[in-house]
Chain A
């Protein structure tokens, strides 16, 4: 069976990416952009396979735990990576780990695209300055919101559409023809190990070495209790309790001192 995306599916995914990457939905787009989850969910809805889309996206998410954008430039665009890798994985029946190996390079390219947007937005500045000098609030608002949004849509929709409509079926058929040899083993191992990246970044971002024992405590708790299959919410409750105890103890010490 020849698998492919329909024009409408490719176009809808492209529009979704443009909505996020233009940031037109406000600060709510932060977690849509930093995390592949919402994009993976939309791809699942559009392609009619939510379950597989979420499983693949969850694996991609682990690579991007802890990504923050100091100054606004992220070193990768996970949502763009997911927009391409999740359809490829669904079409080619790939393992979630294999999908990671596709998402990572695409997300890296996406970050250049996002920065190109900063450059293109410069063209809107002239009209902002003109409306500001004239004291024209309506014109100013228009040039701050509408012009940059249109620029982003013109940039992202065609590119993502082309990559999906022409690129995704090709990549997925190549991948599914490789079979189960060494290449698949490499893709899966890379995907499995890359999950460590996001976690190491968060440890660095939180930045307090004195708090690191809590990381190791949790790591060995989850290894030791793996067979008990403890729910993540329970672990979150443990984490919150440890946090409260820690703060109470340190606050008391500073009060005394």
Chain B
């Protein structure tokens, strides 16, 4: 059945959703548009956060400039706005950057097909791509950006802060914000060029696995240094046997220096391993234990 015949046939009925409809030719998407959309998402990121839509409005906000270039037809533009206000939640750079690019490339393909009267990518296809990829990409992004990169910068500059220098706050903030903005933009561009295969590329590329491992080594290494330098747990326990004073901390130091701080971290780590990452509970238990032990001057 040809498209025109199809349209004539359904003339009197309700037009089906995915029936191609002629719309004006879209403008070409340039790097500048991708930058605008990435910046829009980056800026709005968690401003309109709600429990029922999560970050969908921010994603939609980023897409506005690109969608306006693609859909010159008023109804189609409104429909595009509406479909990107549905539930969406992901991490900002690896998830949001990549998916901003992927979505623009899909929307562009849809708008072009509709303008040429060809069969277009359906709305469902666009939504499913977004929703299917948002979770796995967010997992990667959370552990790389907020879990590792951020704290590597903080760990490096922490000694400045400890000495009372404000650069200890400013430098990690600047490094993290600039680095994530730049690679987020590259992820947006990559998402756009690779279209739907983009996320697969990120997740299966051997190079990526290497980068993640490398950041993990670096992150754990820096945490080891911090643990050794800044956790202060020591014993104040002393007792007299036959007029000889035993100072527990001194005895522990002769066995292995830094035993108690390490023990504290390892116990907490094992707790999280066993119980899952229940941070608030870990915090309460640890505080409780420290209070009890310190009241009796055991530590």
Please list the residues of chain A having a beta carbon within 8 angstroms of any beta carbon in chain B: 22-24, 26-32, 34-35, 37-38, 40-41, 44-45, 50-52, 54-55, 57-58, 61-62, 65-72, 75-76, 97, 104, 108, 117-119, 121-122, 124-125, 128-129, 131-135, 137, 140-141, 144-145, 147-149, 182, 185-186, 189-190, 192-197, 199-208, 211-212, 214-223, 226, 231-233, 235-236, 238-240, 242-244, 246-247, 250-251, 254
Contacts and interface: CB of A to CB of B under 8 A. Distances in A.
Query: Which 4 residue pairs are nearest across A and B when measured between Cβ atoms?
Result: A218-B224, A222-B228, A51-B164, A135-B78
B217 A211 contact: yes
Contact of B43 (A26, A45, A221): A26
A219 B206 CA distance: 30
Contacts of B219: 202, 206
Interface stretch (B24-32, B117-125, B145-153): B145-153
Contact of A193 (B60, B214, B218, B264): B264
26 contacts: A23-B46, A26-B42, A27-B177, A30-B146, A30-B180, A35-B150, A51-B165, A54-B166, A55-B163, A57-B161, A58-B158, A66-B223, A75-B280, A117-B49, A125-B57, A134-B78, A193-B299, A202-B219, A204-B273, A206-B148, A216-B224, A217-B221, A218-B220, A243-B215, A244-B214, A247-B213
Interface in B203-237: 206, 210-211, 213-233
Contacts of B45: 23, 26-27, 30
A128 B50 CA distance: 13
A146 to B, nearest CB: 9
Given A145-B48, A215-B221, A193 B231 contact: yes
B169 interface: yes
A62 B233 CA distance: 14
B44 A145 contact: yes
A31 B176 contact: yes
Given A23-B46, A62-B230, A189-B299, A135 B89 contact: no
A131 B180 CA distance: 31
Contacts of B116: none
**Interface class of chain A by DSSP:** helix
Given A51-B164, A54-B163, A125-B53, 19 more contacts: A35-B173, A55-B161, A57-B169, A71-B89, A132-B85, A133-B82, A137-B64, A147-B48, A189-B293, A193-B299, A195-B231, A197-B268, A206-B216, A219-B262, A220-B258, A240-B218, A243-B217, A246-B214, A247-B214
